[in-house]
Amino acid sequence: MKPSSEQRVWFVTGVSTGFGRALAEAILEHGNILAGTVRQPDQQAAITALHPECALGLLMDVTQPEQVATAVQETLDRFGRIDVLVNNAGHGIVGAVEEVSDSEARRVFEVNVFGVLHVIRAVLPHMRARRSGLVINLSSQGGVVGFLGSGVYCATKHALEALSESLSKEAAHLGIGVMLVEPGVFRTDFAGRSLLLAEQRLADYDPTVGKRRDNLPHVDGKQPGDPVRGARAIVQAASEENPPLRLALGPDALQVMREKVAGMQRDWDAWEAISASTNYPPGAG
């Protein structure tokens, strides 16, 4: 099926469950075209079955550039273009900064940062050629605020924030927009199946990170955010003529990020004299 001029072709990573699956369904509900990536063959068939004419399930691991290139080409062969790219695939890890090993940290960075880079680099040439497109990167409130026990995860999302902001400035004149989505706490499997726990656990962190570890089973499945409503909000914002660079999702995300910005402003104001004292004096050679 070739899409009509009114339909947009969305390429979304990680649509098997959670936010990605809700987003896939919201895209199709709005009459658009979906190319959604998964990592298991049975999941691939399930995505295509959502709408055999308008949905295409693709096998792809974001950490494998060859698979990314193949999935992007399959989408172009089937639908002719990619209008919206959504980098949704990712996972978290809970552990104190000192507890997380190099291999655990690299695993999260490979998916959350380098995986995003692989997909962006595969799709951007086609958007540049058409002088049109929107890149949506799923960040987090943890992309703005550092939370205890999530130092490494938040570092990946802070990296994604910087990457996206720079890309928005680099590609705007090419007709390519960028939108960061910063969800708060949503009722997905993020705090369950998709979450890694650092293998090392140090007793000194039991009063802080340890409490968070122990509380995870009591939180999973009780989060206030509705992923269906969140997904619809993303589709709605992406459909606007001028989507925002940053879209916060959830009142909890709005609150903690506003508090972060206010705290930064207080520090800047309190230390303004020292901050402004570092230039050479006027007239100095």
pLDDT in tens, 228-251: 999 999 999 999 999 999 999 999
Q: Is residue 285 part of a domain?
A: no
Active site residue 140: no
Residue numbers of the domain that contains 23: 9-274
What is the tens place of the pLDDT at every residue in 124-154? 999 999 999 999 999 999 999 999 999 999 9
Q: Is residue 65 part of a domain?
A: yes
From the candidates 2, 4, 5, 16, give the one annotated as an active-site residue.
Answer: 16
Active site residue 205: no
Q: What are phi and psi of 9, to 5 degrees?
A: -95, 120
Residue 188 has pLDDT above 90, yes or no: no
From the candidates 139, 140, 150, 164, give the one annotated as an active-site residue.
Answer: 139
Which whole number is the average pLDDT over 1-19?
Answer: 89
Q: How many domains does the chain have?
A: 1
Q: Is residue 131 part of a domain?
A: yes
From the candidates 140, 153, 164, 205, give the one annotated as an active-site residue.
Answer: 153
Active site residue 16: yes
The CATH number given to whatever domain includes residue 173 is 3.40.50.720
Q: Is residue 1 part of a domain?
A: no
Q: Where are the beta strands (DSSP E) in 117-174?
A: 133-138
Q: Is residue 86 part of a domain?
A: yes
Q: Is residue 282 part of a domain?
A: no
Of the candidates 197, 177, 21, 33, the one whose C-alpha atom is nearest the C-alpha of residue 108 is 197
Q: Is residue 44 part of a domain?
A: yes
Give the contacts of 211 (CB within 8 A, at least 6 positions apart): none
Q: Is residue 219 part of a domain?
A: yes
From the candidates 140, 157, 164, 205, give the one annotated as an active-site residue.
Answer: 157
Helix (H) or strand (E) holding 12: strand 9-12
Active site residue 169: no
- pTM for the model stands at 0.94
What is the tens place of the pLDDT at every residue in 64-77? 999 999 999 999 99
